[in-house]
A and B are shown apart, each in its own frame.
Chain A
Amino acid sequence: MAVTVLSLPSRRVSGTRWSPEMVWGTIFVIPYVMVFLVLVVWPVAYGVWLGSSPASYRTLFSDPIYLETVWNTVIFLGVGINLKMFLALLLSGYFASVRPWIRWLSVIFILPWAVPSIPTIFSFRWMLNSEWGMFNNLLWSLFGIEGPWWLVKPDLAFGSVIFVHIWKYLPFWTLILLAGRMAIPTDLYEAAKIDGASPLQQFWYVTWPQLKNLYITSLLLSTIWSLGDFNSVYLLTGGGPADKTHVLATLGIRYAFNLQQLGTGVATVMTALPILVPLVILLLRRLGRRVET
């Protein structure tokens, strides 16, 4: 008896007919792609084009405020970010305690990050007012001393900006590092205790090696995000006094909307790319390395 083997026809015939799954998949992807093109690709490309004129950079570099702003940005990132992350590292150890009341404290601790920026930073602005702010009034009422001119002296004003930034974003990074600590196996600490390691030695030989990658990745990410921190400066000092506390983000807005020079405003933030691009590359490499391992 002869047996004839029939081969089933292929689902794709000559590439001209899409399967139902491919059609539906395309339909569902199209809105996302359109939104991405319109709201991400187009604005970025348009912004790059707006900031591409050499005249904008000549205007920017000839402004006496620009160099001071670059220096402020470097200080803001170098001091503010590192201080914030170091405090987050310390506080994450504190909140890792199993005591219940400390867990409740962490809920309150997260509030600065959770509450919107505008009311909170404005509150700081009012509290730091030299004449009628709460801090100086308390100093006078309780101790009879005149408080510092917090937002009047440029150094104090910029210090206040860094403080507000740390106050606002410290809780978030503390939680991130706390999560990293919670992932460290407890038997490593038990073994270290058995070997007679002090708390400092436990941190240096157990905690830090486990947390180092997360810490550095968080540091890079925080630096990238903080490069665009507009609120901390704008809401607290507006870039003042006398334009002494501007960072690149606020200077860009000043050019774009106060001086009606959109191209120069974009060029201002574009000058951050030499810092931003290497940071992003470094971050992606670190993340790629972690995926491979």
Chain B
Amino acid sequence: MPRLARAVSAATFFCAISTPAFAADLVVWWNKSYYPEEDEQFDKTVAAFEAESGLDVEYVYYTNEDVPRKVLAALTAGDPPDLAYGFLFDLSHTSRWAYDGVLADVSDVVEPIQEHLLPTAIQAVTLLNGQTNERSIYAIPVAQQIEHIHVWKSMIEDAGLSLDDVPGTWNEWWDWWCSTAQPAVREATGDRQKYGVGQPMSSAASDTVFAYMMFLNAFDTKLVDDEGNLLVDQPETREGMIKALESYTKPYLDGCVPPGAVNWQDGDNNVNFKSQISFMVPNPSLSIPASEYAEKDRYMNQMVTMEWPDKPDGSPIEYVASIKTAVIFEDAQNKEAAKEFMRFYLEPENLGPQLEGSLARWFPVDQRIIDMPFWHEKDDPHRVVEVQQYTERPQTVWPHYLNYKLIDINAENAYGKAVGRVVLEDWSAEDAVDELIARIKQVAGS
């Protein structure tokens, strides 16, 4: 009896720890899209790749927030997937991973198509490796996003105003939504809870970081030079940061931003705009109109996408391009298969339909895809403006693409913290910026 019991126990134990007999040729963790069409296109691409290559691809969809967390856990356990793609990677992780040496060099994937890629895309993925102390290509650019302005045109017109009345230059533009549009809309609707500026004010939302970067550009303020050296010690940089922060917080202090904006997570500005509490909102993608795509009247007629106003000096503002990246891990078991998949995925006939499936929420970084008819359809009012912003307006990249340490400032949303100091704790913009600069220097070095 004891011998039989020992045998059963041993058999159970070994079954429990035995590894699967059939492992996939490629393991992929992919950010789940907002729209089913986008995921469906990815499913088709994977199926086509499997048919062509004969490789078995095991892929899993994770949400925005889960992808980086799963990757962190996998990296800590020493067992990362072969390939991962996350919407938030470039904002909070890619530069750091490259510096830490956990990413595989993917120059052989990107360089063959480099001539077709936008300069900002190349700049975003050419990152510093702290092990070699050299820059190389450690991420694969897939798409990009920039800040847009969305407006309920119907609410403006119902209040007896016209978008033609909106001033073109910076201070006057912001002031119009607050002092002209908001009182008119409140009177027309009889609702005191209507706000002219749906500005994200929270330290929990990446939207705040996006928007503040635009305000820095408005005041010609750069945190780093082209080599990634910090410029925050320079008086003109401090001055520009102060002006940007004052301009950013003024609408809230004037009562033109929903009070709860200081608590917004990503997506709350979308909800606020769609429920028509705010009738003008900055947002770093076309997710808001895209979510209304099925409601044709709302999409085509009631809401519009606008460009950002010109800088205070009257010159066009530069848009900050956020390049969405896929990464292959240095410790991955199937790096070559991952590279083969990404070469296949990046082909215009595969990536193009996927970006179209995103309803233009993501914009291409490959000129061959930008030249496709979908991006030049004139009957879509939002896409027309979007294409103009990307193709005819100047662009810059995020400072942390150039200095990886600033990614930690992004991740902890020190900019949102500075905003909170002014609007919640009555700090002056000078004091808040001085604290922000001190934190930047503490994290990223002087």
Seen from chain A, the residues whose Cβ lies within 8 Å of a Cβ on chain B are: 18, 20, 23-24, 27, 30, 62, 64, 129-132, 149, 151-154, 157, 237-244, 254, 256-260, 262
Contact = CB atoms under 8 A, between A and B. Distances in A.
B259 A130 contact: yes
B72 A262 contact: yes
Interface string B91-129: 011001000000000000000000000000000000000
Nearest to A154: B424
A228 to B, nearest CB: 19
A151 B424 contact: no
Contacts of A27: 5-6, 9
B9 A130 contact: no
Contacts of B419: 242
B69 A153 contact: no
B2 A242 contact: no
Contacts of B68: 257, 260
Given A154-B424, A259-B411, A241 B263 contact: yes
Nearest to A146: B192
B246 interface: no
B202 interface: yes
B288 interface: no
Given A242-B419, A242-B420, A262-B76, A152 B259 contact: yes
Given A240-B204, A258-B411, A152 B262 contact: yes
Interface string B172-211: 0000000000000000000001000000001110000000
B260 interface: yes
Interface string B59-87: 00000000011001000100000000000
B38 interface: no
Interface string B195-235: 00000001110000000000000000000000000000000
B275 interface: yes
B275 A241 contact: no
Nearest to B5: A27
B412 A258 contact: yes
B64 to A, nearest CB: 12
Nearest to B1: A20
Given A27-B9, A237-B263, A257-B72, A131 B408 contact: no
A20 B5 CA distance: 10
B93 A240 contact: no
27 contacts: A23-B6, A24-B5, A27-B9, A30-B9, A64-B435, A129-B260, A130-B259, A131-B258, A152-B262, A157-B263, A238-B263, A240-B203, A240-B204, A240-B262, A241-B202, A241-B424, A242-B202, A242-B203, A242-B262, A242-B424, A242-B425, A254-B412, A257-B68, A258-B92, A258-B411, A260-B72, A260-B93
Contacts of A131: 193, 258-260, 277
B416 A132 contact: no
B265 interface: yes
Interface string B410-444: 01100011011100110000000001000100100
Contacts of A257: 68-69, 72
B412 A259 contact: yes
Nearest to A125: B263
- Give the dominant DSSP class at A's interface: loop
A281 B306 CA distance: 63
Given A239-B204, A257-B69, A153 B424 contact: yes
A53 to B, nearest CB: 14
B210 to A, nearest CB: 16
- B96, B260, B435, B442: which has the most chain A beta carbons within 10 Å? B260
Interface in B1-45: 1-2, 5-6, 9
B260 A242 contact: no
Nearest to A243: B203
A121 to B, nearest CB: 14
A154 B425 CA distance: 9
Contacts of B265: 238
A243 B412 CA distance: 10
B420 A241 contact: yes
A23 B262 contact: no
A30 B193 CA distance: 63
Given A64-B439, A257-B69, A20 B262 contact: no
A238 B413 CA distance: 13
Given A242-B417, A243-B417, A258-B412, A152 B5 contact: no
A167 to B, nearest CB: 20
Contacts of A238: 204, 263, 265
B96 A130 contact: no
Nearest to A128: B260
A290 B203 CA distance: 49
A239 B259 CA distance: 17
B411 A18 contact: no
B262 A260 contact: no
Interface string B259-271: 1101101000000
Nearest to B9: A27
Nearest to A236: B263
B189 to A, nearest CB: 14
- A23, A157, A243: which has the most chain B beta carbons within 10 Å? A243
A242 B193 contact: no
Contacts of B435: 64
Contacts of A254: 412
A144 to B, nearest CB: 11
Nearest to B419: A242
A259 B88 CA distance: 12
A154 B427 CA distance: 14
